[in-house]
Amino acid sequence: SLYLVQKFKTPDHWYPSDLQKRARVDEYLSWQHANIRAKGSKLFLTKVLLPLLTGQPLPPEKLEFATEELNVALKQFEEKFLQDKLFIAGSEISLADLVALVELMQPVCAGYDLFEER
């Protein structure tokens, strides 16, 4: 994604030239792999793929644990990155927001409404 932003000279808001905003985008892109992506994928695997592949019903405690882990990551995301802003790096959408949306949709596709009460 960084390659595409730089190759096609996209508008500045996607990967800001302002160093502080760019650092914020980079920080989120690094953080999300072990947090939003990992926990969202785990919920999707636990709730959708494992029962589909094994043909076995899902143990409720496994789903509960995966949901708890995702909720911790979502709380960190809200407190550290979003705070009271609409976008991660300030007042305009960036590559970080696009990546966040893609990763957040995986648990949503598994039937988990992570936007409720957020």
Q: What is the 3-state secondary structure (H, E, C) of 54-83?
A: HCCCCCHHHHHHHHHHHHHHHHHHHHHHHC
User: pLDDT digits over 79-106, tens only?
Assistant: 999 998 999 998 999 999 999 999 999 9
Find the mean pLDDT for residues 13-38: 96
What mean pLDDT value characterizes the chain? 93
40: amino acid identity, one letter: G
CATH 3.90.180.10 holds for 19-110: no
**What Cα–Cα distance (Å) separates residue 34 from each residue in 9, 31, 40, 69?**
29, 6, 10, 11
Domain residue limits, the chain: 19-110
Q: What is the pLDDT of residue 85?
A: 93
pLDDT-based confidence at residue 6 (cuts at 50, 70, 90)? confident
pLDDT-based confidence at residue 9 (cuts at 50, 70, 90)? confident
User: pLDDT digits over 33-52, tens only?
Assistant: 999 999 999 999 999 998 99
**Higher-scoring residue by pLDDT: 6, 87:** 87
Q: What is the pLDDT of residue 118?
A: 83
Q: What is the pLDDT of residue 91?
A: 93
**What Cα–Cα distance (Å) separates residue 5 from each residue in 12, 26, 102, 107?**
9, 13, 17, 27
**What Cα–Cα distance (Å) separates residue 12 from each residue in 2, 21, 30, 91, 109?**
12, 11, 20, 13, 31
pTM reported for the whole predicted model: 0.87
Residues 6+ apart with CB under 8 A from 36: 73, 74, 77, 100, 103, 104
